[in-house]
Homo-oligomer: A and B are copies of this chain.
Amino acid sequence: MIVVMKIGSSQDEAGGVVKRIEEIGLKAHLSQGVEHTVIGVLGQTFPELQDMLQMLPGVEDVIPVSKPYKIASREFHPENSIVRVNGLAIGGDEVVIMAGPCAVESQEQLLATAQEVKAAGANILRGGAFKPSTSPYHFRGLGLEGLKMLVKAREETGMPFVTEVMAPGDVESVARYADIVQIGTRNMQNFALLDEVGKLRKPVMLKRGLSSTIQEWLLAAEYILSQGNEQLILCERGIRTFETATRNTIDISAIPVIKRLSHLPIIADPSHGTGKWYLVSPMALAAVAAGADGLMIEVHPNPDLALKDGPQSLTFDNFRRLMSRLAPVAQAMDRKLATTGAKVKS
């Protein structure tokens, strides 16, 4: 941490900063510039220190030079982390495809979709049982009943599934059924929920908050990691901007940024990221070209009858077409589409 003193600040003021730093048990190193006096803080700093020093008389700015997250950082863990699910390795050479309906609506809808996406090459089934809804009057999911339908679909198809949990009190029961527990965008900073899934010892997928910086996202990841759960996957799903042609602006550049800052696997959700079915395939291809470890794609037997997010769901035909385009793009990136899981069973 570096403290920059104001132009014209007094020696006493600099002395006051040094004194405060030493009271806390750290060392200070004072450097006299032509314009500014600069004080380096030596020793293990902590985030509150920035605010504290900021307030002292004569201080212009306090600049943290270490990243505020540790376990999530690539410095801490230089190799890529790999999260294993049912024989799949997420974060390795293979690109993993999660697909299924936005919401579980019925056993038939779910099963039909699961069978189709598996046949087309998907590795993991997605489906929401507990659904966040902007309005209290919207469909909020089938809850526990939906979870059981997902279990049934897993039994029938052999595909593991990912599903969202929205309340700390539901973590235990969702984790009992699901293969991957998802934290949705609105809950990225629901710290009570992060603590709870951090206590699990099974894979968690953490979606980026709608208006979260990448640093805030990695700090949310740090909540989970610091509770001891290292089976963590990140998911870029679009951020809120001024643009209205798309539901969100999917930040494809977040993929290589995360790869540089962190060792965690990262996948992309072009369905929520764009909100338009006709943008899902181009953005899925772009995400893989940018280095994504996987994709999460919404597929529905009849998007025009879907209870949630029909406009961003692919039909079976469109999903098959996407899968056939994905393979050569993955190959061009020296990767391939994962086949474990699906293949093992069929």
Contact = CB atoms under 8 A, between A and B. Distances in A.
Interface string A323-345: 00100110111000000000000
A35 B332 contact: no
Interface stretch (A92-100, A152-160, A308-316): A308-316
Contacts of A41: 33
A283 interface: yes
Contacts of A241: 239, 241-242, 249, 251
Given A135-B222, A189-B132, A219-B135, A274 B253 contact: yes
A121 interface: no
Looking at A61, A132, A282, the one whose CB has the most chain B CB atoms below 10 A away is A282
Given A31-B38, A249-B253, A289-B289, 9 more contacts: A46-B137, A47-B137, A55-B311, A136-B223, A136-B226, A242-B242, A243-B251, A256-B278, A288-B289
Interface of A: 2, 4, 7, 27, 29, 31-36, 38, 40-44, 46-48, 51-52, 54-56, 60-61, 63, 65-66, 68-69, 75, 132-140, 166-170, 186-187, 189-192, 210-211, 213-216, 219, 222-223, 226, 239-246, 249-257, 260-261, 273-274, 278-279, 282-283, 285-291, 303-311, 325, 328-329, 331-333
21 contacts: A29-B32, A33-B40, A33-B42, A38-B40, A38-B65, A47-B138, A51-B310, A51-B311, A52-B305, A60-B65, A61-B65, A132-B191, A213-B244, A245-B261, A252-B286, A253-B273, A253-B283, A256-B279, A282-B289, A282-B290, A285-B333
